[in-house]
Structure 1
Amino acid sequence: MVSLAPGILLIADPFLKDPNFARTVVLLCEHQEKGSFGFVINKPFDQSLDELVPEILVNNIPVFFGGPVQMDTIHFVHQQPDLIEGGFEINAGIYWGGRFESVVTLINEGRLDLGKIKFFIGYSGWSSGQLENEFNEKSWILSDTDAALIFDEKEQNIWQQSLKNLGNNFAIMANFPIDPSLN
C-alpha cells in the first residue's frame, strides 16, 4: 500500500475539476505535518528555459508548470547527482534541486544529459492536513515513483500511463472522458 510520502506520484482522479490539476501527475517532493509540496510533471509551460533564464545558451529546453505557487521561481528534478551538487534524494536515483549556477554551466558546456533533468516554473503546495483531506476525498490516486515516467519526453501520455501502471482497475479510468455528461 502506497502512502503519502516524498517520492510518490499523485495521480489526479479523472473527474478532478481544479484547472491547475485536472489530468495531472504530481511528483511529491516533501510531505510533513506542516505541509507538502511537489511538481506537476506532465503540464508543459509555454516558454522554454532559455526564454526564462537568459544565461542559458541552449534553445528549446522544456519547462513544465510545476504548480500555481510562486510562479516566479524555477525548480528542477534530476538523475545526475554526480554532476549537480546540493540536491536532495527524494526517491532512489531521483533528486530535487541543487546548485542552479552549476546546472547553467553544465548545460552551456553540453555536459548535462537533458533527458535526466526536468525544469518547473512554480510548484504545487499544500498546507498542514490539506493534502490528506484531498486524498481522503479521492482527488488523488497514489503510485510508486516511476523514473521513466517522470523524465518521459511524451508528457501527454504520463497521466494515462500512470493509471495503466496500477493495473486493470485503474487502466479503465485512463480512458474516462473529462466530463461524462457530454457523452
Structure 2
Amino acid sequence: MNKKIKEFSFTDLANQLPISTLKPITPIDLYQGGPLDKVRGFVLHSTDYLKGDSIIIGDGIAVSSSIDILTDIAFGTGPKDNLIALGYASWAPNQLEQEIINNTWLVAPSSPEFVFRTKDEEKWQKALDSIGIDVTRLSEFAGRA
C-alpha cells in the first residue's frame, strides 16, 4: 500500500486496456500489489462506489478487480478514494492465518483515512504507532526465548 510503481502509469495501463477517453487522464499513482502476476490488478476503494464485483473488506473500504472500475476512474466517475495495485501476494490455504498466529506478522487496524489519505512514506510508521510498536525495539532475528 505504500510502494508506488514508478516505471508504469495509469495512462499506460489505460492504453493497454480497452479504455479510451476523449480527455487527458488525470495522473493516478499505481502501487505494487505483490510479486505475483504483475499484469493483473485490483483496486482498493471507498464504499461510495459499489458495483457487481465489489467486495466490502472493511469499514468504508472495498475491493474491485473489473475493468469497469478502471474505466470509471479514467472518466472521473469512479470512487471518491482509490488505490490501484498491480500484482498480488498469495499463501497456501490457512498459511497466512498460521503465520499471524505465530506472530510472523504485525496486524494493525485500518481505515479509509489511513489507506487513502496517509502519505506513503508515513504509512509504515503510523501502522506501527497504531499498535504501540517502537521500531527501535524490534529485532531482525527470529526465535524463542
Normalising by structure 1, what TM-score?
A: 0.62
CA-based RMSD:
2.6
Counterpart code for 1:45: I
**1:64-84 deviation digits (Å, cap 9, x = unpaired):** 100112111021011144x44
Number of the residue aligned with 2:76: 110
In the TM superposition, 1:79-118 aligns within 5 A as 79-81=46-48, 83-86=49-52, 87-97=54-64, 99-104=66-71, 106-112=72-78, 116-118=81-83
Kindly indicate which of the two structures has a greater share of residues assigned to strand: 1
Aligned residue among 119, 141, 166 for 2:131: 166
Contact kept, 8 Å, 1:63 with 1:119, in 2: the verdict is: yes
Name structure 1 gaps, 5 residues minimum: 1-40
Number of the residue aligned with 1:77: 44
Question: CA shift at 1:162, angstroms?
Answer: 0.6
Aligned residue among 42, 56, 66 for 2:2: 42
Larger radius of gyration: 2
Normalising by structure 2, what TM-score?
A: 0.76
Counterpart code for 2:40: T
The alignment partner of 2:103 has SS state of coil
The alignment partner of 1:72 has SS state of strand
Q: 1:50 to 1:176 in 2, by over 3 A?
A: farther
Number of the residue aligned with 2:119: 154
Aligned residue among 101, 125, 133 for 2:90: 125
Counterpart code for 1:53: A
Percent of aligned positions that are identical: 22
